[in-house]
Structure 1
């Protein structure tokens, strides 16, 4: 009986030992699995990403300068040499100069002249070299109806080339004859005409036509031309 009990105990012990060996060690397996999972896996590609430089293509087309309108500037007052003068009322009672003349021939100038017995008289001078109305030279004033009378003196410069000519000065107002006088060398003549309601006034200077008229230069001088 004792032998059977001992044999039974031995059999149970062997069975328990066999069962312990077949049971997997879950703790060791889990540790090994964790170690394999967390270990870094080497890769062939570098960790730093290298970029290949690319050519930059401009997207904006070159700007083309577009024509622009010039800046607007306020008009400037014309100078005497650019635009002739329309005489204002305050031009009264003072001798007129070439800058006061609306239109005049080339070669006429302001200056000082010896005329007859006057020395260095202030005036407006110009040369004539042919006789007759066809060779007349015209100085035009624009009065704008601002004046009542025009007075002027005229003669031949003592330095005129010819001493045989007769100088003639005629005044037209608004296109109509007003007055006319002639003067030889060494004389001074005066014209005094009404310019009331006159806008355009012309001083027509020529060498008088006559049978004895000969070619030769004469320097005509207009002096003390005053509006009132």
Structure 2
């Protein structure tokens, strides 16, 4: 029946040849004749995801707040403790002070490189205030003050006034090349203000600035 159609003849010959190869392979393996066995290789094609496929999102990590942290210290200055008694005060002991004032060493009158707190007054008619909070911890305040020898003006008069608990207590003034001292009791005082200014004189408006220096400010 294969002689009538060329296509059927080819199919039959191919099928017969495949059967013979399979039989020969099985027989050789069984008899150990050393003939090579047929190897079948299977190739699997894995398609990559298309560009239009959305990326898989990684699971988000929950944010856990840390409520166990210690509170930070406040930047606000605190009242002076009793243990500062007997030591000259520095700027960090001052509750409030004007911008530009600083700790340093100054030549004042005949004193060389005296330790103090200094600030510049550039005109008459206004004042600079430094405030201490004593918290009723002290009984006496002593301080000295003068004009720095490097002050621009040599004609102006420096005034230092002390108020305690909102009331006037004392006031003194000095010219260049002078040093004045204030010594007053401060029991039951909380707020103490040191008010620094230039005295209104004929030299105001025609002279330059003055560098005021507070020295040996001691509480006891």
Q: Match for residue 45 of structure 2?
A: none
Separation in 1, partners of 2:62, 2:170: 62
Separation in 2, partners of 1:157, 1:85: 30
Q: Which residues of 2 match residues 1-228 of structure 1 at below 5 A?
A: 63-77=59-73, 82-132=75-125, 135-214=126-205, 215-228=207-220
Per-residue Cα deviation, 1:146-183 (whole angstroms, up to 9, x for no partner)? 00111100000000000001000000101111100000
Alignment check: 8 A CA contact 1:159 1:219 kept: yes
Q: Match for residue 51 of structure 1?
A: none
Give the secondary structure class of the aligned counterpart of 1:103. coil
Separation in 1, partners of 2:109, 2:185: 27
**Shift in Å at residue 66 of structure 1?**
4.7
Separation in 2, partners of 1:68, 1:195: 53
Max Rg structure:
1
Aligned residue pairs: how many? Answer: 169
Give the secondary structure class of the aligned counterpart of 1:189. strand
Separation in 2, partners of 1:202, 1:67: 50
Alignment check: 8 A CA contact 1:85 1:101 kept: no
Alignment check: 8 A CA contact 1:153 1:224 kept: yes
Q: Which has the higher helix share?
A: 1
Separation in 2, partners of 1:85, 1:126: 22
Q: Which runs of 5+ in 1 are unaligned?
A: 1-60
TM-score by length of 2: 0.70
TM-score by length of 1: 0.68
Alignment check: 8 A CA contact 2:156 2:201 kept: no
Separation in 1, partners of 2:129, 2:216: 18
Could you say what the CA RMSD is over the residues aligned between the two structures, in angstroms? Answer: 2.4
